[in-house]
Amino acid sequence: MRISSKNKNGDVMKIGLPQALLYYRYSTLWETFFGELGCEVILSGKTDQEVLARGESLSDSECCLPVKAYLGHVARLARNCDYILAPRFERLAANEEFCVRFWGITDVVRGTFPGARVLSYNLQGQKAGSELMGFMGLGKALGKSRGRTLRAYRRAKQAQLAADIRAVSEQNQLFGEPGLKVLVAAQPYIAHDVYIGGPLLGFLREQGAIPIFADLCDRAPCRKKSGELSASLYWTMNKEIIGAIGLVGPQIDGVILVSAFPCGTDSLVNELILRRVKDIPITQIILDGQQGEAGLQTRIESFLDIIKERKHGNAS
C-alpha cells in the first residue's frame, strides 16, 4: 500500500511512536529515520496511571504489564497521528529470538485498533539485509525515493550506534563514583519507564545507591558472556541481561532482578540466575502495576542493608 507523505489536508505526515516496549531500545533509529524523510514524529509521552488504565481496559487479562502500557500509549496516539509505527521483531540474529510478544504486537495493534493506520516492518535477523529491506519498505510506503530512504536509514543507523556507544560510555563512568553499585537487571521498557520502573530507581538513589542498567552494558560482549551461564538460552534480551551480570559482576555490589507480571521469559531466566549465580547478592522484584510504593521501598532498603553489611564484612 502506498501512503502519501502528506495527509489529506496537505500537512506533513504525523508518525506516532508509542513510548513503550522497544522504543527504549530503538528510539533514536526510528525518530531519526522518519525525521530524515520529512515526517513529523509524535511521541505518546510518559506512562502514567491514565495510560496504564486505558491499556488494561484494552488488554486480555493474560497480557503482561508492559504490553498493557503499550496499548495505552497506542490509544493516546490513535487520534493525533496519521500513522502509528508498530514493527514486528522476530530475531536479531540466527539462533536467537525476541519474546513472542514482539512477534505478534503488530497484529495485536491492528486487531485492537481497527481504525488505526499502522506502519510496520519485520526484523528477521537470520536473513541478511532484513532490517534494511524493512526500512526501504517504509520509505516506499511513504512515497519516498529509494535514494532518500537509503540515506535516511544509514543516518538513522549511525545516530543509533552513536547513542548506544555514548550510553555505554556514560554508564561506565559511574563505576568510578563513590557509593553502592546495584545492577538493575531488567528489560529496558521496565527499567526506563518512569511509571513502571521509576519508583524503584528513585528509592535506590534516595538511599545513595547508584543504579547500573543491564541494557546499557555493551550488548555484544553481554550476549557472548551469557553462554557461560547457559549455552542454550536463545531469548536475545534475556541473554544480554544474564551476560551483563557476568560482564560487570566484579564492579557491582548487588543485583536486582526486576520483571513485570506475568512475563514468562523473565520468570524462567530469573530462576536460572538465582540458582546459578552465587558470588553476589541478588534479589528479585516482580512488578504488577498494583504494588504499593511503601512495600517496594522496604524491600529496597532491606536489600541495600544486606549489601552494606556484606561489603563491610569483606572489608574487615
Residues 24, 158 within the same domain = yes
Domain boundary among 139, 163, 187: 163
Task: Examine the domain organization and report whether 287 and 152 are in the same domain.
Answer: no
Domain extent, residue 285, equals 175-315
252 and 276 assigned to the same domain = yes
Question: Are residues 291 and 192 both part of a single domain?
Answer: yes
- What's phi and psi for 58, nearest 5 deg? -95, -5
Does residue 2 sit within a domain? no
Same domain, residue pair 286 and 202: yes
Instruction: Return the CATH number at 180.
Output: 3.40.50.11900
Residue 291, in any domain of the structure: yes
Residues 6+ positions from 206 with CB-CB distance below 8 Å = none
Q: Residue ranges of the chain with pLDDT lower than 50?
A: 1-5, 7, 9-10, 316
Predicted confidence at residue 72, as pLDDT, reads 96
The CA-CA-CA angle for residues 110, 267, 55, to 5°, reads 30
In a domain? residue 303: yes
Whether 28 and 68 map to the same domain: the answer is yes
Gyration radius of the chain's alpha carbons: 20
**pLDDT value, residue 60:** 82
Residue 68: predicted pLDDT: 93
Q: How far apart are CA 254 and CA 307, in angstroms?
A: 7
**In angstroms, what CA-CA distances link 271 with 62, 119, 275, 296, 306?**
21, 37, 6, 20, 21
- 231 falls within a domain: yes
Burial tier of 279 (Cβ tally within 10 Å: 0-12, 13-18, 19+): exposed
pLDDT digits (tens, 9 = 90+) for 93-139: 778 888 888 889 999 999 999 989 999 999 887 787 889 999 999 99
What DSSP character marks residue 234? -
Same domain, yes or no, for 129 and 226?
Answer: no
Residue in the structure block whose three cell numbers are 505478534:
104
- Determine, yes or no, domain membership for 168: no
Question: Which of 129, 163, 197 corresponds to the end of one domain?
Answer: 163
The answer to the question of residue 6 being in a domain is no
* Same-domain check for residues 32 and 105: yes
What is the model's pLDDT at position 5?
47
pLDDT at position 314 is 65
Q: Are 23 and 146 contained in the same domain?
A: yes
First to last CA, the chain: 69
139-171 pLDDT per residue, tens: 999 999 999 999 999 999 999 999 999 999 999
Q: Are 101 and 203 part of one and the same domain?
A: no
Count of structural domains within the chain: 2
Euclidean distance between CA atoms 261 and 65, whole angstroms:
6
The pLDDT, as a whole number, for residue 11 is 61
Antiparallel, parallel or unpaired: β 14-17 and 83-85: parallel
- Last residue of one domain, picked from the residues 134, 163, 192: 163
Judge whether 3 lies within some domain: no
Residues 6+ apart with CB under 8 A from 114: none
**Neighbouring C-beta atoms of residue 194, cutoff 10 Å:** 13
- Strand, helix or coil for residue 116: coil
Please give the Cα distance from 223 to 243 (Å, whole number): 6
β-sheet with 40-43: strand ranges across: 40-43, 14-17, 83-85, 118-119
- Residue 48: CATH number of its domain: 3.40.50.11890
Q: Could you tell me which residues come within 8 angstroms of residue 103 by beta carbon, excluding any fewer than 6 positions away?
A: 88, 89, 90
- The residues, any chain, with a CB within 8 Å of residue 49's CB and separated by 6 or more, are 195
Looking at residue 4, what is its pLDDT?
39
CA distance 314 to 316: 5
State the pLDDT at residue 292. Answer: 62
**Residue 251, domain member (yes or no):** yes
> Is the same domain home to 285 and 196?
yes
Does residue 303 sit in the same domain as residue 238?
yes
Q: Where are the beta strands (DSSP E) in the chain?
A: 14-17, 40-43, 83-85, 88-91, 118-119, 122-124, 181-185, 210-213, 254-260, 282-287
Question: Which cell numbers in the block locate residue 169?
Answer: 560510555
